[in-house]
Amino acid sequence: MRGPFASKVLLIGWDAADWKVITPLIDHGLMPTLENFINHGVMGNLATLRPVLSPMLWNSIATGKRANKHGILGFMEPDPQSGGIRPVSSTSRKVKAIWNILTQRGYRAHVVGWFAGHPAEPINGISVSDLFPYAVAPLDKEWPLPPGAVHPQTLRETFAVLRMHPMKVTEAAILPWIPRAAEIDQEKDKGLYAFAKILAENCSIHNAATWILRNRPWDFLAVYYNGIDHFSHRFMNYHPPRLDWVPKDRYELYKDVVNGAYRFHDMMLQTLLDLAGPAATVMLVSDHGFHSDHLRPRAIPREPAGPAVQHRPFGVICMKGAHIKQDERIYGATLLDVTPTILSLFGLPVGQDMDGRVLVQAFEEPPRIESISSWEDVAGNCGMHPSELRSDPAAAQAVLQRFVALGYVQQPSEDQNKAVEIAVTEQQYNLARDLLDARRYQDASKILEGLWKKWPDEIRFGQQLAQSCFALGRRTEAKGILEQIIAYRPKQSTTEGAATRALEPATTARTDEPGTDNRESKPRPWADLLMGIIHLEEGDLDTGLASLLRAEQADPRMPDLHLRIGESYLRQKRVEEAERAFQKALEIDGDSPEAHLGLAMIRLRQRRNEDAAQQALIAVGLQHFLPLGHFYLGMALARMGHRARAVLAFETSVVMLPGLIPAHRWLAALAMQPGGDPEKAARHRGIYLQLRKQRGRQPEP
């Protein structure tokens, strides 16, 4: 390897940060630090994973592995000590995080506030857990740090005084964010208290991180701020523009809070960059985005982790330092790529069992990437706790109540057996969704079959099972499940997964509020959507389109719906109607890779090859793993005479989807051109013929 490329790496996590909010602020000069950062480095979207749940995602960022490998499967888990449940913790993680790997290699690694980071791990540096900033007592009472909140123990009192109590958030701190704070009736409206808690917690985290940078040698520091996510869950409903269902008086009170949160993070970023110094390589990431426009949901599911419906599938990534390109945009990054890239910066090998890759597109000169079978096989102290380490009940209760307040978990049942059963059920459901996202449909379906059988009132279990059956080609089974769902009449569910509540962040809604489900029968447009897709796959275009149009009537804002309608029209050669459907999908969500892919298909049919290439490039930039996106890009480039670039696009498509028959035909044809490679042509021609023989005549995409 031509490295190390970095002597110091600073990893900054801004939970839920989103370019849709950042870009207007930068355009108005309101985030000068981040603007300067990206002008001297690279920026781009960071694609998230599903389910979009922060404990799972931040540990994927820290390990380069999906949840089915790292073992953190949601917010809660059974507690073998008490027989009840507890929040996920650092002992829940089954694999090494980046700071554990660096510890093992002798680097001075520090971590502050990472999600599921309690108890603090005994790494070769300072570890400050995510329980560190929580105020669990009034200001006039003792406020001790939870046991295990700081490693090493000798720094416990040093860090205790760095915390900020919410009651110390003064009027001077509040008014720039909420100028009309004096008008708020704090007996009825707890917005100011929620604001103060979030602000104080993030100030405490920032104090801990800056103390380390000022007072201790370091090679690596990871610091996680939950502020943008928590401010957004509490106040995004009041973010401009005002939605018609948001009361005007509350909008006027809280409309500046979300922008203020981003500007506050920009100021904290400046301090971190100043302390890190110009020699450090800095990476800023978010695990997902947050809907801030017309896609903000009016209601969220009454189910564990229901508020995740507010999350957008693209976070942010910014990176600058020596050997990093300047003032450029990168494409195709996922949060699984963060740890492999950091290992590459330090000149260390990437684990072959990691699910991510090195972001070579960010480097001026791509590094030579070395690999190791697994860092889990490397012996020696890495600073991880034994899994059986006892947890502190008071600390666990503090975290649990925090999750309850945010709406991510229901108040646990007093019946411990029932609470454990629900926690295990949610873990299994989240694992199944992670496996679905990883395209391990068979493994996912086995879990979902058990959940659906045990909890037949949990429509979400049936929904995911139908999708996995469809992906496995079990169409009849998928249709049977969907028919059950469409005919379903809601009953009170044990895990309360079927109802919805209005999106007032603080409390459960009244059943007479707009947007709530008071358990009467209602349309299920996503079921009609999937049923329509199945009919289309079976060649029944009329029935399929009818199902899709029925779903559109029930919920015209579903972007996936318009994608499928567009595909249906394309199959019927109704190109103009298909184009309108894909454009409508983009009006709903401009970052839909499949909508851009649909337009690429249309432009190819219209022989508008440059436009087709542009749409395909946008699609694969938003979602790198999009085999058809690379295929259509290759088609457009080949027609334009860019043979080398077309070959690269086709080769990328068949790496992702080896059975993509037309791509092999194109590769064979291009290799037969003058100056080509006859041996390569023969190989792809052979693959093409073999695949056609195995599957029968397959229409080209």
The count of other CB atoms within 10 Å of the CB of residue 192 is: 18
What would be the CATH architecture of the domain defined by 9-402? 3-Layer(aba) Sandwich (3.40)
DSSP for 362-394? GBSS-----EES-GGG--S--SPPPTTPPPPHH
The alpha-helical segments, DSSP class H, found in 280-412 are 338-345, 393-406
Look up the pTM and report it. 0.87
Cα gap 677→588, rounded to integer Å = 45
The count of other CB atoms within 10 Å of the CB of residue 392 is: 16
DSSP state of 324: B
Kindly state the tokens that stand for 350. Answer: 């990437």
Strand partners, 371: 350
pLDDT block averages, 10 residues each, the chain of length 701 = 82 98 98 98 96 97 98 90 86 96 98 96 98 82 88 97 94 95 93 95 98 98 98 97 95 97 98 97 98 90 86 96 96 94 97 97 92 96 83 63 67 78 94 96 98 94 95 94 86 44 34 33 78 88 88 83 86 90 91 94 96 95 89 97 96 92 95 92 93 68 51
Cα gap 593→623, rounded to integer Å = 6
Cα gap 140→256, rounded to integer Å = 31
Residue 411: partners with Cβ closer than 8 Å, 6 or more residues away: 404
Cα gap 99→123, rounded to integer Å = 7
Cα gap 558→579, rounded to integer Å = 17
Please check whether residue 35 is in contact with residue 87, taking contact to mean a CB–CB distance below 8 angstroms.
no
Residues 289, 62, 276, 46, CA torsion sign: negative
Domain residue ranges in the chain: 9-402
pLDDT of residue 246: 95
Cα gap 427→53, rounded to integer Å = 12
Task: Kindly compute the dihedral angle of the four CA atoms of residues 362, 366, 370, 371, in this order, to the nearest 10 degrees.
Answer: 40
pLDDT of residue 368: 86
Cα gap 526→529, rounded to integer Å = 5
Residue 377: partners with Cβ closer than 8 Å, 6 or more residues away: none
Residue whose tokens read 């058990």: 450
The alpha-helical segments, DSSP class H, found in 170-240 are 171-174, 191-215, 227-235
Phi and psi angles of residue 162, each rounded to the nearest 5 degrees, phi first? -80, -10
443 class by beta-carbon count within 10 Å (0-12 exposed, 13-18 middle, 19+ buried): middle
DSSP for 450-478? HHHHH-TT-HHHHHHHHHHHHHTT-HHHH
Half-sphere exposure of 362 toward its Cβ, with a 13 Å CA cutoff?
Answer: 31
